[in-house]
Structure 1
Amino acid sequence: MLIYKIFRRPEWDDLKATGQTLGAPIDLADGFIHFSTAAQVMETAAKHFAGESDLVLVAADPDKLGAALKWEVSRGGALFPHLFRRLTMSDVVWDTSLPLGASGHIFPEGLV
């Protein structure tokens, strides 16, 4: 199983350039990096990134994130993965563009 983080292109570019990040502004404000499961990521995109283009979908292996990854109750009472440390490029399993289509973001086949 993988977990997913959506970045705006400048946030992703910064992570690639520096090799680490504490996340987007919402992550900094909340004190952890928000992730979603495959079942949650489409709703996350629709709720927090509606109408935004030039996004990057990043996958991480929760087993490799260690004890800093906590599963906490969030939207709708569901458990969401939250990372309480910096995300590094070595944590990233893969990344892909998340384009905006006519009816929302277009996710990679097989993910949703």
Structure 2
Amino acid sequence: MADNAAKVDTSRVYKIVPARLWSNAQASSAFTGSADDQRDGFIHLSAAAQITGTLCKYFRNQADLLLVAFDSASLSPHLKWETSRGGELFPHYYGSLPPHLALWQRPLPLGADGLPQCDVTQLIEDRL
């Protein structure tokens, strides 16, 4: 487990979210998560290196997605790094996530293959 933690940049975490859900969260000042998040009891987040895998596995062909960035320190103590897909550590947020803590948000337009057209790595680096 420690080896995985060393490979993951934990300073920022990201939420892939339908724009409608995020807009509703901003209006209510609370993001309670997607149906999957609510079922699992926490809000699923990703480290930068995990975004592409998460998009491919769970969000293919979903239009109107946003990538929302958070500083991990601002989410403490509700942010936990837990073993998930493939034995990797993933960030999970327990509780209602305050949208005002977001550093930035960016649309993820779909390409013909059903995945975002943009280079996710470049998108993140442009926002640092």
Q: TM-score, normalised by structure 1?
A: 0.93
Task: List alignment gaps of at least 5 residues for structure 1.
Answer: none
The structure with the largest alpha-carbon Rg is 2
* Pair 1:109-2:103 in alignment: no
Could you list the runs of 4 or more consecutive aligned residues of structure 1 that deviate by over 2 angstroms after TM superposition?
Answer: none
SS in 1 for 2:81: strand
- Quick one: which amino acid aligns to residue 79 of structure 1? L
Specify which of 66, 80, 91 is matched with residue 70 of structure 1: 80
Say how many residue pairs are matched.
112
Measured on the aligned residues, the alpha-carbon RMSD in Å equals 1.5
**Measured at CA, do residues 14 and 89 of structure 1 come closer, stay the same or move farther in structure 2, by a change above 3 Å?**
same
Task: List alignment gaps of at least 5 residues for structure 2.
Answer: 1-10
Question: Which structure shows the bigger proportion of residues in helix conformation?
Answer: 2
| Alignment match, 2:19 | 9
Instruction: State the identity %.
Output: 40
Question: Which structure shows the bigger proportion of residues in strand conformation?
Answer: 1
SS in 2 for 1:94: strand
Per the TM alignment, residue 13 of structure 1 is displaced from its structure 2 partner at its CA by 1.2
Per the TM alignment, residue 110 of structure 1 is displaced from its structure 2 partner at its CA by 4.7
Per the TM alignment, residue 82 of structure 1 is displaced from its structure 2 partner at its CA by 0.2
